[in-house]
Amino acid sequence: MAFDDDPTRVRAKLTDRGRGLVAAGATLTVAGVGLGFVDLVRVGAFALALPLLVLLGSRRRWSVLRLDRWVDGLPVTSGVPTTVTVRVQNQGSATTSVLLAEDHLSPGLAAGPTANPAGTANSVRFVCGPVPPESARSFAYQVHPVRRGRHRIGPLALTRRDPLGLASSVLSMPEQLEIVALPAVHRLAGSIGTVGIGSDGSMPAMTVLHGEDDTSIRGYHDGDDVRRIHWPATAHRGELMVRHEGRPTSRRALLLVDPLLLPITPGPGQSALDWAAEAIASVAAHLASGGFALHPITPESVASASADTPVPLARLVHALALVEPEAESPAGDHSGHPALLSTLRELAARGGLLVAAAGDHHEPTLHRLLDTRPPGGAGLLFVLDSSSFLGGPPGRRTGALADLARARGWTATAVTAGDDVGTGWARLLHVQASGGVVR
């Protein structure tokens, strides 16, 4: 995108040196008039006029500049530095002067290879040397996505100063680049053996749950039941064909991410929603490697009525990156999205492994979530300690609620701030191995 001296994008102002010279000139002028020294008045008038003339001249026409910005190494993952390249091209007829460039970063992005603990807005500065006509200069710098989600890079501000340093002119190039930082996906070891409600029974890895009917037509084999002969296909093929009704091969994982089930976490630390997104994404990757069809249950998938449609792992992780926290109602309602829980309950009744993360900040909400698991179904649940994610000491009821979930048939574990996803997964394995699930 190209920009020139559009007055809405160019700001001119005096520098500290220029303002000091104006103040000195005004003082000398007043003193010269009061004391009757004409030469002092002349010096003061010159010192007063020079910065103002330079300020007017600083708005002289800028060269037509074009800005291009891109990110190397897509996709971007939270917690992993990535490189941003900025290219400034001179499309005018004159060589530009030396410019100071400042690229603004939205909160959640930190400049440099390490995270900004405060997670506040910041910027990256670099010097852009003279750019001849029809030439360009490129600059690269690193940004560190502190959190998953949408982040913006830009606008870019270019500052030009006069040789005396009395005034500066700033050209704002408003083009912004939006990037999506995906939640980190952790490799999980081991598997949980559960009993599902699908016709395949138990499996050594994860439960095999209801899938779609798998009915096909194949050639007749000796010993096949003649009642299974498919006469239309037989007539079409000119040979005996029978219906082959295989066992369901599709295993479904229903992965719930409801922002209202998790406490809103202020401050620079990892939020409960971010931890939940990483955990759900990691479990989803583990299940996908075992042949599970992935069904994200998020506000977006429920609103678009697409929760019943399986999605690839990459699309699910991208959906988790875009889930935003939502404030509770003024009345303190923690009921969550009724549509999400009802959709989860409906799909779980048709078969599926439930995977969810919820906070302990409102027990009625957790009870409604626990009710979505049908009798005989299987579910994995992370119960997050809200107090620790809010910056306080660990609470006392998180473990009790995890025990309640296990008594209700879930494989559940308590999680506090600072626990990594691998630790939470290992606890689920321990719960399963120790017979913590009550069926």
State the pLDDT at residue 185.
95
State the pLDDT at residue 114.
58
Q: Which residues of the chain have pLDDT under 50?
A: 1, 3-5, 7-8, 116-120, 194-214, 246-249, 329-332, 334, 437-439
Record the pTM.
0.76
- The torsion angles phi and psi of 238, rounded to 5 degrees, stand at 75, 15
State the pLDDT at residue 211.
40
State the pLDDT at residue 193.
61
In the block, tokens 């004391």 appear at 35
State the pLDDT at residue 364.
87
State the pLDDT at residue 350.
87
3-state SS, 94-140, equals CCCCCEEEEEEECCCEEECCCCCCCCCCEEEEEEECCCCCCEEEEEE
State the Cα–Cα distance between residues 112 and 144, nearest whole angstrom.
6
State the pLDDT at residue 224.
72
3-state SS, the chain, equals CEECCCCCCEEEEECHHHHHHHHHHHHHHHHHHHHCCHHHHHHHHHHHHHHHHHHHHCCCCCCCEEEEEEECCCCEECCCCEEEEEEEEECCCCCCCCEEEEEEECCCEEECCCCCCCCCCEEEEEEECCCCCCEEEEEEEEEEECCCEEEEEEEEEEEEECCCCCEEEEEEECCCEEEEEECCCCCCCCCCCCCCCCCCCCCCCCCCCCCCCEEEEEECCCCCCHHHECHHHHHHHCCCEEEEEECCCCEEEEEECCHHHCCCCCCCCCCHHHHHHHHHHHHHHHHHCCCEEEEEECHHHHHCCCCCCCECHHHHHHHHHCCCCCCCCCCCCCCCCHHHHHHHHHHHHCCCEEEEEEECCCHHHHHHHHCCCCCCCEEEEEEECHHHHCCCCCCCHHHHHHHHHHHCCCEEEEECCCCCHHHHHHHHHHHHHCCCCCC
State the pLDDT at residue 195.
40
Hey, which residues does 378 pair with through a beta bridge? 353
